[in-house]
């Protein structure tokens, strides 16, 4: 049985000094892999192939290959690293798009030439292969005469911006997605804490009142209910700190909650069936079911009529959890299914979307007399 989603957003894996951002659900291309492919395929192979077609290398294929030429192609492309790895992302984060456009124009028209002028003269000075002399001389002559004008140098001015801007914008997009998902995760964690805080006071007061009444009548099961309450508080305070808990613990919490409520409404028809033989091995996001149960007791007719009922069922089979719950409501006071449960149910919807994206269905229906919840989760 596979475990549920971890509940975290984009994971961040180190790749040298780069980071690999993975979108929600683990989908999305790896930025460093894409970047490495650009340097290998475009720079080391394509630009190297274009260089071999230079008129200054008429007999170059007689001595193929030339690792030095490949290194030259890489060195004359290195000028773009500060722009797409540093300056560009910095301006994008600050939404200085116009400045980025103007700076990029200056960068590719002038800064590229200045950098590659130095690189070309360095390779020319260090060259020991006579077959490459004419090539370095012609390259150095072009850079010497074009440092301060607007002349273009083929693919360096036309293709380089497109190729490396694609990396820059992909990195920026994935970074924004990671930040957005982290904010969503943190928000839902806060909502879970709010759910716990809401569960504490009103449920605690109701339960203490019930236990107080039991103690006044000298009921023999008073100590067992105090122990149940203690176990429930321990679960909420300690076990629910993570994104996943054992299904067995969550269902034990639900069982204790129902026993407490049965004590408050002894004449109501309250039942909850569990068909989960491997629940000690299955994990689930905590406190997903309890808001529905709380809601059924809050709006159910058992508060004023002994004929009220609340019936629930949890079944785990074929890698999926199926939860159903139905409760009677007061006739003449229907609540539209879209308003069912308010903030608590909306909280559950968001947490389901985060922890089980495209792996769950939730249907809430009502006809004025009975409301039904049907939840399916692929674990």
With helix as H, strand as E and coil as C, how does the chain read? CCCCCCCCCCCEEEECCEEEECCHHHCCCCHHHHHHHHHHHHHHHHHHHHHHCCCCCCCHHHHCCCHHHHHHHHHCCHHHHHHHHHHHHHHHHCCCHHHHHHHHHHHHHHHHHHHHHHHHHHHHHHCCCHHHHHHHHHHHHHHHHHCCCCCCCCHHHHHHHHHHHHHHHHHHHHHHHHHHHHHHHHHHHHHHHHHHHHHHHHHHHHHHHHHHHHHHHCCCCHHHHHHHHHHHHHHHHCHHHCCCEEHHHHHHHHHHHHHHHHHHCCCCEEEEEEECCCCCCCEECCCCCHHHHHHHHHHEHHHCCCCCEEEEEEEEECCEEEEEEEEEECCCCCCCHHHCCHHHHHHHHHHHHHHCCCCEEEEEEECCCEEEEEEEEEC
* 29: pLDDT strictly greater than 70: no
* 31: pLDDT strictly greater than 80: no
Q: What pLDDT score was predicted for residue 54?
A: 66
- The chain-wide mean pLDDT, for the chain, equals 78
Residues pairing with 269 in the sheet: 309
Is the full-model pTM beyond 0.75?
no
Q: What pLDDT score was predicted for residue 262?
A: 86
Listed residue (27, 5, 9, 7) closest to 379, CA to CA: 5
Q: What pLDDT score was predicted for residue 27?
A: 39
Which of 198-207, 294-303, 346-355 shows the lowest mean pLDDT across its residues? 198-207
As a whole number, mean pLDDT of residues 123-133 equals: 83
Q: What pLDDT score was predicted for residue 25?
A: 37
* 36: pLDDT strictly greater than 70: yes
Which of 290-294, 303-307, 359-363 shows the lowest mean pLDDT across its residues? 303-307
* 294: pLDDT strictly greater than 80: yes
* 63: pLDDT strictly greater than 60: no
- pLDDT classification of 221: cutoffs 50, 70, 90: confident
Q: Where are the domains of the chain?
A: 12-177, 220-378
* 4: pLDDT strictly greater than 70: no
| Spatial separation of the C-alpha atoms in residues 252 and 232, rounded to whole Å | 9
The CATH number of domain 220-378 is 3.40.50.300: no
As a whole number, mean pLDDT of residues 74-96 equals: 87
Distance of CA 99 to the CA centre of its chain: 31
Greatest mean pLDDT among 8-17, 317-326, 341-350: 317-326
How many CA atoms lie within 13 Å of 252's alpha carbon, on the beta-carbon side? 18
* 23: pLDDT strictly greater than 50: no
As a whole number, mean pLDDT of residues 285-310 equals: 84
Phi/psi at 14 (5° precision): -75, 145
Q: In percent, how much of the chain has pLDDT > 90? A: 15
Q: What pLDDT score was predicted for residue 37?
A: 83
| Spatial separation of the C-alpha atoms in residues 77 and 44, rounded to whole Å | 10
| Spatial separation of the C-alpha atoms in residues 268 and 328, rounded to whole Å | 10
> For 255-281, what is each residue's pLDDT tens digit?
998 988 888 788 888 999 999 988 999
- pLDDT classification of 203: cutoffs 50, 70, 90: low
* 357: pLDDT strictly greater than 80: yes
Q: What pLDDT score was predicted for residue 240?
A: 81
Hey, what are 66's tokens?
Answer: 């030339």
Q: What pLDDT score was predicted for residue 193?
A: 67
Dihedral of the alpha carbons of 293, 297, 301, 307, in degrees to the nearest 10: 80
């Amino acid at each position: 049985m596979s475990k549920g989603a971890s509940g975290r957003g984009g994971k961040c894996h180190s790749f040298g000094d780069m980071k690999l951002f993975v979108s929600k659900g683990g989908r999305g291309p790896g930025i460093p892999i894409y970047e490495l492919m650009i340097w290998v395929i475009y720079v080391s192979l394509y630009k190297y192939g274009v260089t071999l077609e230079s008129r200054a290398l008429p007999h170059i294929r007689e001595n193929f290959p030339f690792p030095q030429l490949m290194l030259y192609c890489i060195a004359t492309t290195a000028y773009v690293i500060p722009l797409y790895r540093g300056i560009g992302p910095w301006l994008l984060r600050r939404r200085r798009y116009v400045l980025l456009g103007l700076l990029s124009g200056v960068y590719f028209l002038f800064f590229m030439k200045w950098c590659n002028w130095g690189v070309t003269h360095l390779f020319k000075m260090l060259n020991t292969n006579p077959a490459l002399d004419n090539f370095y001389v012609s390259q150095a002559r072009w850079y010497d005469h074009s440092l301060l004008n607007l002349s273009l140098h083929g693919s360096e001015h036309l293709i380089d911006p497109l190729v490396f801007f694609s990396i820059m914008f992909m990195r920026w997009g994935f970074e924004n997605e990671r930040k957005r998902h982290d904010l969503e995760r943190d928000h839902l964690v806060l909502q879970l804490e709010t759910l716990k805080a809401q569960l504490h006071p009103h449920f605690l007061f109701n339960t203490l009142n019930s236990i107080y009444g039991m103690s006044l009548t000298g009921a023999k099961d008073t100590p067992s209910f105090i122990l149940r309450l203690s176990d429930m508080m321990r679960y909420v305070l300690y076990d629910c700190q993570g994104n996943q808990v054992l299904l067995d613990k969550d269902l034990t919490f639900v069982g204790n909650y129902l026993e407490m409520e049965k004590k408050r409404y002894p004449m109501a028809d309250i039942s909850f069936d569990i068909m989960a033989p491997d629940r000690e091995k299955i994990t689930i996001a905590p406190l997903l079911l309890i808001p529905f149960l709380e809601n059924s007791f809050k709006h159910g007719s058992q508060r004023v009529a002994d004929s009220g009922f609340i019936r629930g069922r949890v079944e785990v089979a074929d890698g999926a959890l199926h939860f159903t719950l139905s409760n009677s409501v007061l006739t003449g006071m229907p609540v539209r299914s879209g308003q069912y449960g308010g903030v608590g149910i909306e909280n559950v919807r968001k947490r389901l979307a985060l922890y089980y994206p495209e792996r769950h269905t939730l249907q809430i229906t009502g006809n004025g007399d009975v409301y039904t919840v049907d939840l399916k989760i692929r674990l």
